[in-house]
Amino acid sequence: MFNKILIANRGEIAIRIIRACRELGVKTVAVYSDADRRSLHVAMADEAYHIGPPAPAESYLVIEKIIDAIKRSGAEAIHPGYGFLSENYAFANICEKEGVVFIGPTSEAIRLMGDKVTARKIAQETKVPLVPGSEGAVSDVEAEVIAKRINYPVMVKASAGGGGKGMRLVRKEEDFKSSLRMARSEARTAFGDESVYIEKFIERPRHVEIQIIGDSYGKVLHLFERECSVQRRHQKVIEESPSPAISDATRKKMGEVAVRVAKAVSYRGAGTIEFILDQNGNFYFLEMNTRIQVEHPVTEMVTGFDIVKWMIKIASGEKLPFSQDDLSIKGHALECRVYAEDPEKNFLPSPGKIEYLRTPSGPGVRDDSSIYNGYEVTPFYDPMLSKLIVWGERREEAIKRMSAALQEYIVLGVRTNIGFLGRTMENEEFIRGEIDTGFIERHPELLPPSLEDVKPALIAAALAMRNSTQEIDTSKQAPLSNWKLLGRKLAVSRGPLI
């Protein structure tokens, strides 16, 4: 096992990795930008190194600064988390050349599966079902020809894309050229690569993904599926496991297909094979994410498998000691991503200072977060505040538990999507499992705030005013670590729970 691991990330995923390292007896190293000097991941890590200004392009995305922090800290391995450099082939390749263990797949696997066109070819070679479309990147003329051949509606997608960037839905031929132009422009800005491919658009598709894990000795297992269909701007908002839409037979087949794709690139560590599911239950390969996913906790809740801890164990050379038959699903888990954003304004980010915070707890409730009273939500990074995860014996119980937990969740000082998430839990279509990637667009009535959203905030505001913040006089106390001192301050500023 490693002695020290550097975490090339921030926020809740950095904290999640720090906790896994603590359980394994491994010391941790954090990196931080100017905007993250007071972040929890910095306080919790054993060491922390400054890497630059707030903008990711000047800090978290600068490979040289991360490598310099690794050398200065003496860390033997690096965990990239998700986002930033987690799927960057060049970064993983440099780590390998520098003798630093990259906790994830090999750089070659990232290169092969990171390009969507190459990934489609690999899927095709391994007999994986594919959505009709171009076999690779296409010119403007080729794109138009293929779009006519497979019939509208079609999707224009960036070859090097992700997170909904460089993606356009085109329903009519007369809109194709302008949509293609916009997709190329966005892809060039986001990824430095304007190449695109064309894919048939599946009406009312569901987004279902398979979590896989592989060791360095050729064994690859799947940890079943996650349903990720509730999305806004092609980005996931609510995830669950198992999917309410697939049978045991389909689950088995999807798992086998996912393992086959992963083995084709000798995959090591945690990864995800993403599929779209049509209304007839047919599934098609979409892409592979060569990293830990934001929504990995729902899989952990239903399988009892600690994905982050096993990523570290595998990177240190351990073998997976169990077989596919040893794994099973127990109960049902849901995850809601809590964002500092305004659903009524097309989910526009809402930066600012958190003036009051109350988080939910109780049986079957998990809140993966990096925020606290007084935390500053900046405009520089993704506005996700936390991931609220619940478990229940059945889906109906999990939905009710999530609804109750969201009613306990209070954040003042910034706008959030908590009310929207709560109303979604009460939506009849959602309760019946009748969801797809267009669910939010079909239900605009879920977006505006209601009186029920205001009541807990008013109660919290009244209590926050009554329990005014008191500063700690540390002059007469023994020296404290940064983490303990911060914990004391947070405890005082929070006041009694209600």
Q: Which tens digit of pLDDT belongs to each residue from 35-85?
A: 999 999 999 999 999 999 999 999 999 999 999 999 999 999 999 999 999
pTM of the prediction?
0.85
Q: Over pLDDT 90: what percentage of the chain?
A: 81
Phi and psi based region of residue 317 (left: phi greater than 0; alpha: psi -120 to 50; beta: remaining): left
Phi then psi for residue 341, to 5 deg, are -155, 165
Tokens of 276: 């779209």
Cα–Cα distance between 24 and 31 in angstroms, integer?
Answer: 20
DSSP β-ladder status, 376-377 and 356-358:
unpaired
Q: Which tens digit of pLDDT belongs to each residue from 431-453?
A: 999 999 999 999 999 998 876 67
Cα–Cα distance between 91 and 152 in angstroms, integer?
Answer: 39
Indicate if the alpha-carbon torsion angle 359, 303, 88, 207 is positive or negative. negative
**Helix (H) or strand (E) segment spanning residue 82:** none
Tokens 């084709």 appear where? 264
- What is the CA angle 113-119-125, rounded to 5? 130
Tokens 């996931």 appear where? 236
Cα–Cα distance between 171 and 302 in angstroms, integer?
Answer: 39
- Domains for the chain: give ranges and CATH numbers: 4-103 (3.40.50.20), 132-200 (3.30.1490.20), 206-454 (3.30.470.20)
Q: What is the mean pLDDT of residues 317-346?
A: 97
| pLDDT for the residue 475 | 39
**Residue 488 pLDDT greater than 80, yes or no:** no
Terminal C-alpha separation, the chain: 43
Cα–Cα distance between 452 and 308 in angstroms, integer?
Answer: 37
Strands (DSSP E) along 75-176, which ranges?
77-79, 101-102, 154-158, 167-170
Nearest to 402 by CA among 347, 364, 437: 364
| pLDDT for the residue 132 | 87
Catalytic residue list: 291
